[in-house]
């Protein structure tokens, strides 16, 4: 299961535009720091690294959402993903999800979703995704789990 990231499952889950994200939150909870991606297994389990560096979701979601997932669980994460929040703990809006996260993930996937719908056995050729840019967070400082 430590190579689940290489199947594009995380990208497809993050590109889902709907609001029923509890199952996705449950998947993310189980796999949050158990993926052997760029740093290998050692990086995933090293508590000395920030959560964003230990998780395959680190470059895709703001670290605040990763901590919601880790601390409060999948239901709170699912609720946060579809909410508009501007608190010291979370800065996240529907616009950030739709215009930044989903758009950039779909751009990264390219024509793979179409190929997959035509041929269900096509394999994803894993390529790490560049970090998602959130202009709303550009002037914010994240320190000790707070903005």
Question: Domain residue spans in the chain?
Answer: 4-137
Each residue of 91-106: b (16+ CB within 10 Å) or e? Answer: bbeeebbeebbbebbb
Is it the case that residue 38 has pLDDT exceeding 70?
A: no
DSSP symbol at 102: I
pTM attached to this predicted model: 0.89
Cα–Cα dist 78/68, whole Å: 9
Mean pLDDT value across the chain: 92
**Does 2 have pLDDT greater than 60?**
yes
What percentage of the chain has pLDDT greater than the value 70? Answer: 93
Confidence check: pLDDT of 19 > 60: yes
Give the residue, 34 or 112, on which the prediction is more confident: 112
* Residue 42: predicted pLDDT: 56
pLDDT at 121 over 90: yes
């Amino acid at each position: 299961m430590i190579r689940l990231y290489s199947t594009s499952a995380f990208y497809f889950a993050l590109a889902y535009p709907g609001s029923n994200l509890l199952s996705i939150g449950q998947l993310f909870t189980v796999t949050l720091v158990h993926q052997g991606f760029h740093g290998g297994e050692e990086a995933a389990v090293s508590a000395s690294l920030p959560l964003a560096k230990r998780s395959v979701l680190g470059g895709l979601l703001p670290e605040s959402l990763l901590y919601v997932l880790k601390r409060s669980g999948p239901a709170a994460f699912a609720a946060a993903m579809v909410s508009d929040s501007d608190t010291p703990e979370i800065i996240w809006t529907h616009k950030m999800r739709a215009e930044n996260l989903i758009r950039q993930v779909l751009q990264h996937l390219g024509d793979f979703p179409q190929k997959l719908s035509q041929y269900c056995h096509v394999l994803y050729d894993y390529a790490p995704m560049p970090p998602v840019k959130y202009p709303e967070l550009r002037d914010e400082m994240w320190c000790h789990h707070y903005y």
